[in-house]
Amino acid sequence: MNESESDIKWQTLERHDRRVVGVLVEKAKTTPDNYPLTLNSLLNGANQKSNRYPQMQLDEEHVFDALERLRKLGAVAEVQGDGRAPKFRHLLYDWLGVDKFELAVMAELLLRGAQTIGELRGRAARMEPIAGISELRPILDSLNGKGLLLYLTPPGRGCIVTHSLYQEQELEKLRAEHGNVHVEAPAPTAKPPTPSVASNTAPTDNNEIALLRAEVAALRKELKEMIWKIRVDVDELQSHVGMERD
């Protein structure tokens, strides 16, 4: 790792805490004029239907409790305002030890969980300019070196990554969903010596199987999101039609 253990401030977080602090980072980058956030703004951001997975239905108590835990950990601070509702801001640059590009990537992973690097690049680019996969890879390598990012599948087409702020039982479940494939870091870029055909057959097959599993898992996740969004749209349409009839 690039940092000594004594320099590391971050630790694993509960799922509500991850959602709340992820919202703080997202809103700081995408709507800076409305940042820091009130408790109500945080609640709306945590429960919003876009750019979130899984969907949550938190209440004020959930968000308040999450803020209290995050404050004790040094990840969030309350801002003294002008006498109105208190506001909150994140301290993740220092808490995680990251730059603005790394934080954008971490925010997307906190808000949506495991995803392919292609999905991650497109989503993180709404917060910081990341032109392509070639620009994303050094960011991922840096986060991996800091222990903040995990490769759930071997690097390559359909590679899936996630953050390492999960609770241990959550991480075990996540690894199981992706075929129990766990990769600490990308494969070296240097070309290795050419092996014999016989010795190379089994590893190639294993890699292909792992990549296929990763692609299937990613497609299943996207399908679940699409079904959920369709249901939401239908509910909203039915509600709108009912109001017009009344």
54 & 73 share domain: yes
**What angle is formed at CA 27 by the lines to CA 98 and CA 125, rounded to 5 degrees?**
60
- For the cut 50, the answer to whether the pLDDT of residue 6 exceeds it is yes
Per-residue pLDDT tens for 129-147? 999 999 999 999 999 999 9
106 & 219 share domain: yes
Q: Is 240 exposed, middle or buried (0-12, 13-18, 19+ CB in 10 A)?
A: exposed
The DSSP secondary-structure symbol of 152 reads S
30 & 47 share domain: yes
Alpha-carbon torsion (101, 104, 105, 107), positive or negative: positive
**Do residues 87 and 81 touch, judged by C-beta distance below 8 A?**
yes
Residue from 53, 20, 207 nearest 119 by CA: 53
**Is 108 within the bounds of a domain?**
yes
Residue from 16, 44, 53, 22 nearest 226 by CA: 53
> Stretch 216-232: mean pLDDT, rounded?
69
Segment among 181-190, 193-202, 215-224, 237-246 with least mean pLDDT? 193-202
**Is 1 within the bounds of a domain?**
no
Instruction: Label the pairing between strands 87-90 and 37-38.
Output: antiparallel
- For the cut 60, the answer to whether the pLDDT of residue 79 exceeds it is yes
**Is 178 within the bounds of a domain?**
yes
Give the per-residue pLDDT at 196. 44
Q: Is 242 exposed, middle or buried (0-12, 13-18, 19+ CB in 10 A)?
A: exposed
11 & 86 share domain: yes
54 & 143 share domain: no
**Percent of all residues in the chain with a pLDDT value above 90, rounded to a whole number:** 63
> Stretch 226-244: mean pLDDT, rounded?
62
52 & 66 share domain: yes
- For the cut 60, the answer to whether the pLDDT of residue 213 exceeds it is yes
- Distance, in Å, from the CA atom of 162 to the CA atom of 120, rounded to the nearest integer, reads 10
Give the per-residue pLDDT at 239. 57
Domain with residue 41: its CATH number is: 1.10.10.10
**Is 220 within the bounds of a domain?**
yes
Domain end, chosen from 58, 81, 96, is at: 96
Per-residue pLDDT tens for 19-76? 999 999 999 999 999 999 999 999 999 999 999 999 999 999 999 999 999 999 999 9
Domain end, chosen from 70, 96, 122, is at: 96
- Distance, in Å, from the CA atom of 118 to the CA atom of 132, rounded to the nearest integer, reads 8
**Do residues 51 and 4 touch, judged by C-beta distance below 8 A?**
no
List all residues 6 or more positions away from 139 whose beta carbon is below 8 Å from its beta carbon: 101, 102, 105, 130
Domain end, chosen from 75, 96, 117, is at: 96
State the pTM of this model. Answer: 0.75
Give the per-residue pLDDT at 188. 44
- Distance, in Å, from the CA atom of 69 to the CA atom of 202, rounded to the nearest integer, reads 48
29 & 14 share domain: yes
- For the cut 50, the answer to whether the pLDDT of residue 195 exceeds it is no
Domain carrying residue 24: 7-96
110 & 82 share domain: no
Q: Tokens standing for 166?
A: 């999960």
121 & 70 share domain: no
29 & 105 share domain: no
Give the per-residue pLDDT at 204. 45
